[in-house]
A and B are shown apart, each in its own frame.
Chain A
C-alpha cells in the first residue's frame, strides 16, 4: 500500500496569508494525487486532481504541484471560507489512500 504523509498536521494563518501544505507518498504516485477540502460536518470537496488540475468551480487561489513522491497544495491568499481541513489522496494504485489531513486554523 502507498503510505501518505501530510505536513503540517495543523497550521495557524491569517486572512491574506500564503499557505502551503505538503504531501509525501511512500512510493511514486506519478501525477495521481488529489486534494480535498473538508469543513466540519460536511463531505469532502475536490479541489485539485492529477496533482495540478483545478476542479471546476474551485477558486484560482488554490493550486497544486508535484509529481512522483512530493506534492504541494498552495492557497495564494487565504480567505475566511478557507479555514478547513485539507486531505491529499493518491489514486495511482489500490488501495486508494489518504493523508492524515491538515487543519488550517485562524491565527
Chain B
C-alpha cells in the first residue's frame, strides 16, 4: 500500500523558515517524480514544486521561486521542502504527492501538514 506521510508544519513568523518532510513507502520511490502541492484555507489547489526521480530536475511555481527548495533522498525514501522568508500568503496545508512526470496525474497524496505564517 502506498503511503505518504508529511511532517514539519507549524506556526512560523513572517520571514521565518520551515522544512517539510514527506516519508514514502509502498512503492519504488526512486522511480517517481515527487511534487509538493498546497491548499490555502478555503481555497483551491496549487502545485508548489516538483523534483525528478534522481533529483536532477526541479520546478517551482513562480510565487515561491528563490524562497523554496525541493530535495529528495532516495536512500531514505523521502522528499523535502525547505521554505525560507515565509509570507502570510504561504499559509496552507501542504501535501506531497507521487507523480509519474510530464502529462500524468498525481495518483497518491499524503494527508497534508499545515503551515501557518503569522505574527
- A residues near B (Cβ < 8 Å) are 32, 34, 36, 42-46, 49-50, 55, 87, 89, 91-92, 94-101
- Say whether B44 faces chain A, with CB atoms less than 8 Å apart: yes
Given A43-B95, A94-B59, A95-B61, do A55 and B107 touch, yes or no (CB 8 Å)? yes
- Say whether B104 faces chain A, with CB atoms less than 8 Å apart: yes
Whether the Cβ atoms of B44 and A100 lie closer than 8 Å is yes
Whether the Cβ atoms of A98 and B45 lie closer than 8 Å is yes
- Say whether B46 faces chain A, with CB atoms less than 8 Å apart: yes
Determine the chain B residues whose CB is within 8 A of the CB of A46 once the complex forms: 105-108
- Say whether B103 faces chain A, with CB atoms less than 8 Å apart: yes
Neighbour of B104 across the interface among A44, A49, A87, CB < 8 A: A49
Contact residue range for chain B?
A: 10 to 19
A44 to B110, CA, bound (A): 9
Whether the Cβ atoms of A50 and B105 lie closer than 8 Å is yes
Mark out the residues of chain B between 90 and 119 whose CB falls within 8 Å of any chain A CB in the assembled complex.
Answer: 95, 102-112
Determine the chain B residues whose CB is within 8 A of the CB of A36 once the complex forms: 45, 106
Determine the chain B residues whose CB is within 8 A of the CB of A42 once the complex forms: 111
Whether the Cβ atoms of A101 and B61 lie closer than 8 Å is no
Whether the Cβ atoms of B45 and A34 lie closer than 8 Å is no
A89 to B62, CA, bound (A): 18
Whether the Cβ atoms of A32 and B103 lie closer than 8 Å is yes
Neighbour of A89 across the interface among B45, B61, B110, CB < 8 A: B45
Beyond A44-B109, A46-B105, 12 additional contacts (C-beta under 8 Å) are A43-B95, A43-B109, A43-B110, A43-B111, A44-B106, A45-B109, A50-B105, A55-B107, A89-B106, A91-B102, A91-B104, A94-B102
